[in-house]
Structure 1
């Protein structure tokens, strides 16, 4: 099976994995994004499946567990998979300290496909812009979600706004994330992502933008120029 993992990105994230839960460290932008992302995830799961409690969720590219933990607290049965051993170690340690039961695994989406696993919900948050093969990755998402289930992605649009904000400002001017974290050429427009999902038989449910307020918090909005989220149903 075609691998979806980009080795360079795995190495990059592994080098800072010990700081996943440092709210002022290299993952600070994800901590800031998380409340808005969680609101969207809860809303779309509830709309499709009625509730989060008892739902099986796969978090692909889970990192240190920033999304897996709040979903587990809401009663979901969560599995997290990540390509970095260091990220999984950080996730397991933090979950243990929090008294949460989450099934964390090192590996790739295609490994779970090979096992024949399926879930009610499949998440890929800030992941698709880092994979080595987008069509193969989207095929994995489709294979991993049960009929009637939900696939949710969040990512960066390919616009000059995203280059200015996510790369020029974040990586070089403000230096809030490590240089080289993103490659603008790997960003997908909403139209490209939706087209790829539909090619796998997934139907668009909702697409929403994210906007950053002056106080640094993020809210769901109609502005998709930089960050956006997509939900699709199987």
Structure 2
């Protein structure tokens, strides 16, 4: 099936006309991390490049989001574009590795990143694929201030460990959840196993990601994320672990010692 056929009959995502800036700024931004990912922007879609591990990891996290969203909204994932009519925002979208398949699943997708270079790469690739995704160089704080959303699904995957103020960041993300909607937060666990495998092995032994990509001190425990959201009107579930089978190289749901996801839901108003 061609990319143009994948999106046939789907509505365009909200334009958020009140948001005109293409300059990202906010208290949660870590300039060093933004610069690091900006320098690699052109390589996001190279499955053998610096983001190769993310390409291998992607099917597992896509399946997790798809299946939980289907449960939440009563959708049949065997149908074409099962999430048509629902909106989604991908916060910290990078080159669009999550935004594009979410659009193909039928979501109206808005995707934001603090790096204008990442947004340029993502926007160009989506256009080549015939996908209408509303990309913005922006922070979550800017989106909230501009009155964006709310969205049925809010995604922030492998982002919170790179921001300067994780609590302010995740609370701002939660304020974009529509009544009845859900948010998925994915990150790395601050455990000894997370340090040895998620940091040192991944960066210095296996060289899955460039050295210096992660700071173990910025990894978060599930209970810390739960506490950060305690004063927001959401219910938090998890952790839901994702683990790598070293023999097959396939990621699937498993223990939460290294990679895990948390789900926050907002009640129907």
Q: For this structure pair, what is the TM-score category when the shorter chain's length is used for normalisation?
A: over 0.9
In the alignment, does 2:44 pair up with 1:20? yes
Q: Distance in 2 between matches of 1:82 and 1:18?
A: 15
Q: How many residues align?
A: 233
Q: TM-score, normalised by structure 1?
A: 0.96
Name the SS for the 1:54 alignment partner.
Answer: coil
- State the match for 1:49 in structure 2: 73
- State the match for 2:212 in structure 1: 180
Gaps of 5+ in 2: 1-24, 76-82
Q: Distance in 2 between matches of 1:206 and 1:224?
A: 9
Q: Distance in 2 between matches of 1:197 and 1:26?
A: 33
Name the SS for the 1:198 alignment partner.
Answer: coil
Mapped contact 2:26–2:142 kept (Cα < 8 A):
no
2:156 to 124, 127, 130: 124
- State the match for 1:134 in structure 2: 166
Gaps of 5+ in 1: none
Larger Rg: 2
In the alignment, does 2:94 pair up with 1:63? yes
Mapped contact 2:26–2:139 kept (Cα < 8 A):
no
- State the match for 2:9 in structure 1: none
Runs of 4 or more above 4 Å deviation: none
Name the SS for the 2:208 alignment partner.
Answer: coil
In the alignment, does 2:113 pair up with 1:82? yes
Shift of residue 205, structure 1, vs aligned partner: 3.6
Residues 29 and 114 of structure 1, relative CA distance in 2, 3 Å threshold:
same
Q: Distance in 2 between matches of 1:59 and 1:171?
A: 26
Mapped contact 1:124–1:152 kept (Cα < 8 A):
yes
Name the SS for the 1:199 alignment partner.
Answer: coil
Q: Flag the structure with higher helix content.
A: 1
Cα RMSD of the aligned pairs, angstroms, is: 1.3
Structure 1 window deviating more from structure 2 (8-17 vs 199-208): it is 199-208
Deviations 1:12-66 (A, max 9, x none): 0001111001111111111111111011111121122223222100000000111
- State the match for 2:17 in structure 1: none
- State the match for 1:218 in structure 2: 251
- State the match for 1:165 in structure 2: 197
- State the match for 2:224 in structure 1: 192
Name the SS for the 2:85 alignment partner.
Answer: coil
In the alignment, does 2:115 pair up with 1:115? no
Q: Distance in 2 between matches of 1:44 and 1:206?
A: 12
